[in-house]
Amino acid sequence: MSIANAEELVALVRAYNPSSNSDLIRKAYAYGAEMHEGQFRHSGEPYFTHPAAVAGILAEQRLDDATIVTALLHDTIEDTKATFSDIDQKFGRDIAELVDGVTKLTNLQLSSTAAKQSENFRKLFIAISKDMRVILVKLADRLHNMRTIRAMRPDKQVQKSRETMDLYAPLAGRMGMQWMREELEDLAFRVLNPEGRNSIIRRFINLQKDSGDVIHKITGDIREELDKADITAEVFGRAKKPYSIWRKMQAKDQSFSRLSDTYGFRIVTKNEGDCYRALGEIHQRWRAVPGRFKDYISQPKSNGYRSIHTTVSGRDGKLVEVQIRTRQMHEVAESGVAAHWSYRDGIRVENPFAVDPAKWIATFTERLDNVGDHEEFLEHVKLEMYADQVFCFTPKGEVVKLPRGATPLDFAYGIHTRIGDRCVGAKIDGIRVPLWTRIRNGQSVEIITAEGQSPQATWMDIVATGRAKSAIRRRLREEDRERFIKLGRELARVAFEHLGRRATDKALSTAAKHQSLASTDELLARIGSAELVASDVAAQLYPEAVSVSDEIEVTTVVVGLDDGQTFERATCCQPVPGERIVGISYRGKGVVIHAIDCAGLAEFSDQANRWVDLHWQPGRHPAVHTVSLDLTISNDAGVLGRICTLIGEQKANISDLNFLDRKPDFYRLIVDADVRDVEHLHEIMLMLEADSDVATLTRYRDIKRKP
């Protein structure tokens, strides 16, 4: 809301807090206006209209004087000559630290690289943990900026809207301030997808023309049932926000016409008993929709939210969502954690359902303390902020909270990492289920474990929680490292022997120092994971052993090009010397060489002017032509090392390994090998096909891999 002057703000605050320190608010208003004198917003308005409006938004939430004053001063340290000491001296240390906290949040770049973003998120939560009123001011600041965003440049509008959608709206929701979350989302949606938003609004208008005022009719139906049962309650109805409907359409992959529950209704009763009585009356009058009932009164959310949610088939068969709660529950549902600071009639509201902010932030951040790398931290942050929770039970009846979409594996890791690592199966409500089953509210989960079991790579696609992902990733990393070291040792042996040398411990240790690596194992792990090429490592250590051959220079390997014309091999078909080839010319790029039978040439069939007749230079070619091989091999000890040895013995270098599938009985992988020509390739494939542990072998060609 806009605030015209100090007296208007003072009156707004005194309406809910008659004992407010009006002189302090007037003093802050005057000081802020003085500091921002001569500054203007993008719209051309005086800059101080913004802090005043932020204070007005917070006053509407009935917040305390310190928060209102902080709103008036929140940009002074950052944008004016005012300092922390000035604010401290004039308004006290409490307000000075709040203003400083908001300033630090404003300066965080929350959409930068993963490492920087992770560190800034940590700073964000540290600031929140010191005093949550800092984030309340920041959210109100962002809300007013989004309400007036049209005055900004289009690119800045998109940037701010994306940041709002990704961070501030979910954070407001996580704090229980659902009204703010919805408004922030809708304002960002208006910028990011105006056509999508407008189409939903148009359909709402058409729906209202066809069916009349549905909200008024259904509200009347609900009131009628409550009056019959002598239940005193307020009933409200509304159409859901455009972004809420859009998100549901995307999640369910449904059109607007098929999406039924586009209206929401709220019943606010006098006491908790009436909540359940009202629920009974609603279910007696209308048929409940299975799977759409949630009791957040008996199982409250961590931010204090309490309400009963049910969906029924209402008037004309329309699905209607109904929320039932008491007045105190409703106040927390509207204000969330901010209810802790709310005032009414001059005294702090004693709401038994309002969450202590210190406990809330401790719950919110407890899983973030022991997270290792940046990606894992960001993953935890997103899961904590975005995921609604489900409540399930252990066989002993203990409640376990998990994000929506969690599986028995998440449940297992939520109990203990050791249980998760050894998980081989699960039962839900006594019935054996696959590990990828999504857990629903109220279900009982039992985990089946076995000694010797270890996490599988496919589990990463099954779990939803950051804790489970982190534990699985850690174990896979340990197992992969051991496997890569073994593979690297074999690749190094072949590469060193190719130069007539032995890969002794001393040689490998020296090579590790040449690569500035801490240990031999680190060197071997990097060779095994294709981060380093074994032949290059050996050549750097023994340059005198690398013989100069009569091989054709790579730059003259193709015949038929114009003088100065460059070329490259197509990645889709990877042609090698000895195969029939054709070139496709690109303006400013030279010529891309394809095998004559490449399926990708079909798209150039009507562009004959771009075809170039080429052939390979006769003679011995260097082994620099990468070819991808698709192998399925037995998952037994030593098989992968032997396969790499066979390729090395044919004087071919392995430049990359990519595992497509890992099962208990086999691996499927893509091996990139550098070959001289088609005969060299056939020799390698012949040797591999002769191995009893190679189930299938084909040359991997992918038309999607564009040159």
Residues carrying an active site annotation: 78-79
Q: What is the DSSP letter of 545?
A: G
Coil, strand or helix at 20: coil
H helix runs in 234-373, sequence order: 242-252, 272-285, 327-335, 357-365
Q: What is the DSSP letter of 556?
A: G
Residues linked to residue 616 through DSSP beta bridges, in sequence order:
558
The helix (run of H) or strand (run of E) holding residue 178 is helix 178-192
- CA contacts within 13 A on the Cβ side of 601: 18
Q: What is the DSSP letter of 430?
A: T
- CA contacts within 13 A on the Cβ side of 413: 26
Dihedral angle at the C-alpha atoms of 335, 341, 346, 351, nearest 10 degrees? 70
Q: Sign of torsion, CA 642 647 650 653?
A: negative
Question: For residues 472 and 435, is the Cβ–Cβ distance under 8 A?
Answer: no
Question: For residues 568 and 590, is the Cβ–Cβ distance under 8 A?
Answer: yes
Token look-up 């040159």 returns 707
Instruction: Kindly give, in sequence order, each residue whose CB lies less than 8 Å from that of residue 134, ignoring residues fewer than 6 positions away.
Output: 98, 101, 102, 105, 127, 128
Whole-angstrom distance, CA of residue 567 vs CA of residue 573: 15
Q: Sign of torsion, CA 217 239 341 386?
A: positive
Token look-up 């890569």 returns 484
The helix (run of H) or strand (run of E) holding residue 426 is strand 423-428
Which tokens sit at 153?
């440049």
Whole-angstrom distance, CA of residue 375 vs CA of residue 373: 6
Give all strands of the β-sheet with 423-428 in edge-to-edge order. 431-433, 423-428, 445-449
Whole-angstrom distance, CA of residue 286 vs CA of residue 147: 39
Three-state secondary structure string covering 375-410: HHHHHHHHHHHHCCEEEEECCCCCEEEEECCCCHHH
**Which of 91, 29, 99, 104 has the alpha carbon at shortest distance from 59?**
29
Cα of 294 vs its chain's centroid, Å: 26
Coil, strand or helix at 309: strand
Q: Where are any strands of DSSP class E within 524-665? A: 558-559, 567-569, 581-586, 590-595, 611-613, 615-616, 625-634, 653-662
